Structure 1
Amino acid sequence: MKFAIEKCVAWYGNIRTTEDWQLWAKGELEYSPEDDLPPLKQIPPMQRRRLSPFAKFSFHCILESLGNNISDIPCVFSSRHGDLHKTAKLIEDVATKSDLSPTNFGLSVHNAVAGLYSIFAKNKQAMTAISAGEDSLMMAVVDAYAKLESQNLDQVLVVYTDQIVPEQYNQFVSDKEQTLAIAFVLSKAQSDSSMSLSFEPQTANHQEDESFQPLEFLKFIHGKNTTAAIQSTRYQWQMSRNLL
């Protein structure tokens, strides 16, 4: 698969701008968690109040990545856990026999952010939601590339978001997972900015990798290396740049 990535925007604690990510990729800026949320002043207050932190991280990256081109681009949204904080609250309400909020339930599903974005941007293009475990981001890239080729599209927006899971779920996830949102536009390969992605099933004797796949992806995007091997339990991913 060969493609180009246009303006990748990511929110990760104190690391937010392109310059931040470039410094981080070189080891010159350390990550530290931050509690503030994106202001999203371009979104009307009535709509902004409906957005959870998960949705706000997503919207920030989308709007910064797209600029004015928000209404006519197909989208692929991805997340390993979805808005699990909202889902966990609903489960607690069920356990305590409290009334469930239909709004909270509707906004807890995996494609909720896609729907909210579609309403805000009046974007009527096709949108999909991907959840593929630790491979959620990379499988979103695969899905976006398939759309580019099969539908002869020029661009597809790719969005990935996850938060640190609620405390009761900590035992089920790697401690490498952090709150992170990413958005970028995937487009047809260009000779001066092309990238290549391939993957194959993981070998039987593979040692479990403790890295956080989205961060490895961002390290490659913003770093200087021409190749990167990104491992998961199920797949070996290979990325390279400028192969045309």
Structure 2
Amino acid sequence: MKFGIEKCVAWYGNIRTTEDWKLWAKGDLNYLPEGDLPPLKQIPAMQRRRLSPFAKLSLHCILESLGDNASNIPCVFSSRHGDLHKTAKLIEDVATKNDLSPTHFGLSVHNAVAGLYSIFANNKQPMTAISAGEDSLMMAIVDAYAKLESQHLDKILVVYTDQIVPEQYSQYVSNEEQTLSVAFILTKYQPATGIQLTLEKQTEHSDEKLTFQPLDFLKFFHGEYKESVIQSKRYQWRISRRLF
């Protein structure tokens, strides 16, 4: 797969601007788990108050990456866990026999953020939501690339968001997972700025320690690496940046 990436926006604790990410990729800026959220001043206050932290992070990255293109671009949204904090609260309400909020339920589904973005930006383009375990971001790129090629698109938005899971679920996930949101525009391949991604099936379980894929991807994108290999339990993703 060969494609280009433009206007990548990501929020990860204190690392938020392109310059922050470049410094972090070089090892010159350390991550700090700051808990403040994007102000989202472009969204009316009444709508903004209903948004969960998960939704606020996602919409910030989406709107900042798109700018004036917010209403006319298809989208692939991805998340491993979705808005699990909201879902966990609903499960707790069921267990304690409390009434469920239809609004909270509607905003907890996996494509809720895509729907919120569609409504706010009046974007009627096709949108999909992907969940593929630890490969969720990379599979979203595969899905976006397939749409880019098969539907002859010029560009498509890719979004990934996850939060540190609620404490009762922490034993089931890797300690490497962090709260992070990223959005970028996938475009047709151009040799000067292009990226190649190849996928290989793992035939044997790797003993190599698995890391958080979105961070691996962002370190490659903002760093000076020509090639990087991103491992999962199922796949090996080889990503390179060079002239072909």
Q: For 2:61 and 2:212, locate their aligned partners in 1 and report how far apart those are by CA, in whole Å.
A: 19
Instruction: Give the corresponding residue for 1:14.
Output: 14
Equivalent pair of 1:209/1:233 in contact (CA under 8 Å)? no
1:138-171, CA deviations, whole angstroms, 9 ceiling, x for partnerless residues? 0000000000000000000000000000000010
Instruction: Give the corresponding residue for 1:68.
Output: 68
Unaligned ranges ≥5, structure 1: none
Q: For 1:228 and 1:208, locate their aligned partners in 2 and report how far apart those are by CA, in whole Å.
A: 14
Q: In the superposition, relative to structure 1, how do residues 185 and 207 fare at CA in structure 2: closer, same or farther (>3 Å)?
A: same
Instruction: Give the corresponding residue for 1:222.
Output: 222
Q: For 1:120 and 1:26, locate their aligned partners in 2 and report how far apart those are by CA, in whole Å.
A: 36
Equivalent pair of 2:87/2:108 in contact (CA under 8 Å)? yes
Q: Secondary structure at the match of 1:38?
A: coil
Equivalent pair of 1:208/1:233 in contact (CA under 8 Å)? no
TM-superposed deviation, 1:243: 2.7
Instruction: Give the corresponding residue for 1:210.
Output: 210
1:11-40, CA deviations, whole angstroms, 9 ceiling, x for partnerless residues? 000000000000000000000101101000
Q: Secondary structure at the match of 1:40?
A: coil
Q: Secondary structure at the match of 2:60?
A: helix
Instruction: Give the corresponding residue for 2:233.
Output: 233
TM-superposed deviation, 1:205: 4.1
Instruction: Give the corresponding residue for 1:165.
Output: 165
Report the residue type matching 1:176 in the other structure: E
Query: Which stretches of structure 1, 4 residues or more, deviate above 4 A after TM superposition?
Result: none
Equivalent pair of 1:209/1:232 in contact (CA under 8 Å)? no
Q: Secondary structure at the match of 1:193?
A: coil
TM-score by length of 2: 0.99
Instruction: Give the corresponding residue for 1:177.
Output: 177
Q: For 2:22 and 2:194, locate their aligned partners in 1 and report how far apart those are by CA, in whole Å.
A: 19
Q: Size of the alignment, in residue pairs?
A: 244
Q: For 1:110 and 1:142, locate their aligned partners in 2 and report how far apart those are by CA, in whole Å.
A: 19
Q: For 1:243 and 1:221, locate their aligned partners in 2 and report how far apart those are by CA, in whole Å.
A: 16
Equivalent pair of 1:74/1:157 in contact (CA under 8 Å)? yes
TM-superposed deviation, 1:183: 0.1
TM-score by length of 1: 0.99
Q: Secondary structure at the match of 2:68?
A: coil
Q: Does structure 1 residue 119 correspond to structure 2 residue 153?
A: no
Q: For 1:215 and 1:156, locate their aligned partners in 2 and report how far apart those are by CA, in whole Å.
A: 21
Q: Secondary structure at the match of 1:134?
A: coil
Q: For 1:17 and 1:155, locate their aligned partners in 2 and report how far apart those are by CA, in whole Å.
A: 22
